[in-house]
Structure 1
Amino acid sequence: MATVAELMEANLLRVFNERDDERRRAAVAATYATDVTFADPEGVVTGHDDLDAKAKGLLEQSPGFVFTAAGPVLINHDLGHLAWAFGPEGAPPVARGIDVALVEDGRIKKLYTMLLPD
C-alpha cells in the first residue's frame, strides 16, 4: 500500500506532470479512489475520468510546462500537503500552489489545489 508521501508525489509527478495518456491513466488508477473528488479554483471534478481530463487539459494548454515539488511532503496522519511550482522547464515558474489530500485505504479520496499569490 502506498504511503501518503508516495501518493502526493504520484499526484504531482505521475498524474499532473504526465503527458502520455496511457501512463497518466494508469497513474490515476493507482493513486486515487474511484470516486475521488478534486477541487481547485476553477471548480470540482469527481472520479477517475474527470480527473484525468482535468490533468490532460491543463497540460495541453501549457506546452513545455512542468510541475516541480517546492518542498517536502508534509503529513498529518491521513492528510498530505505538497507545495509545487509550474512553468516552462528550466525557467522560473509562472504559478505556485499547494495540494492537500485526504487519503483513505491507500488512495487519495479528496484533493484540494490552492494557488498562491504572486
Structure 2
Amino acid sequence: MDETRIETEALMRANLLDVFGQRDPAARRAAAERLFGEDVVFGDEEETTHGVPALLERAGAILDRAPAEAVFAADSPVYGTGEQAALTWTFGVPGAQPLARGIDLATIAGGRITRLTTLLAR
C-alpha cells in the first residue's frame, strides 16, 4: 500500500469518527482543523455548508438528534486515492439495525478534505 493510500484512508476514517462521530465539541473542532481545508464545502440532503465552523455546526446537530449511544462505523474499505475518496458507513446503536447508512465522497487537496458530500442509502 503506498503512502498516498494510507494518508487517504486515515483522512476518511478520521472524518467519520473524529469529526462526525465525536460528541465532544472541543475534540471535534481540533480534528476538523487538522482534516479540512478552511473553505471546505459540505453537502448532504438537508443543506450545503461552507467553511469549517458551519461543518462543525452541522456535525453537532446530527449527533444531537441521535440517541447518545449511536455511533458511526466504517462499512467498507476506503475507495480511491489522491484527490478523490469514498467511504461507506453506518450510524446507529451497536447491535441494533442502523439508523442510517451512507457514503461520504471527498475531494482532497494538500492532504485536507476540501469538499465532502454525504449520500444516504434509501
TM-score class, shorter-chain normalisation, is over 0.9
The residue aligned with 1:91 is: 96
Question: 1:94: Cα distance to partner?
Answer: 1.7
Q: What runs of 5+ residues in structure 2 fail to find an aligned partner?
A: none
| Structure 1 or 2: more helix by fraction | 2
When the two structures are superposed, what TM-score results if normalisation uses the length of structure 2? 0.91
Per-residue CA deviation, residues 13-36 of structure 1 (Å, 9 max, x unaligned), is 000000011100000100100000
1:33 equivalent in alignment to 2:37: yes
Of 73-82 and 38-47, the range deviating more from structure 2: 73-82
Higher alpha-carbon deviation: 101-110 or 60-69: 60-69
Shift >4 Å, 4+ stretches: none
Deviates more, 1:72-81 or 1:1-10: 1-10
Which structure 2 residues correspond to residues 1-118 of structure 1 after superposition, within 5 A?
3-63=7-67, 64-117=69-122
- Give the RMSD, CA atoms, in angstroms: 1.4
Taking the aligned partners of 2:71 and 2:49, their CA distance within structure 1 comes to 22
**1:46 Cα shift?**
0.8
- C-alpha separation in 2, matches of 1:17 and 1:105: 24
Give the total of aligned pairs: 117
Is there any run of 5+ residues in structure 1 with no aligned partner, and where?
none
One-letter amino acid of the counterpart of residue 8, structure 1: M
Query: Deviations 1:48-85 (Å, cap 9, x if unpaired)?
Result: 10000111111011022111000110114310100000
- CA distance, structure 2, for counterparts of residue 41 and residue 50 of structure 1: 15
User: Which shows bigger deviation, 15-24 or 84-93?
Assistant: 84-93
Q: Which has the higher strand share?
A: 1
Q: Secondary structure at the match of 2:80?
A: strand
Equivalent residues of 2:36, 2:112 under 8 A apart: yes
Task: Report the AA paired with residue 88 of structure 2.
Answer: A
Identity of aligned residues (%): 41
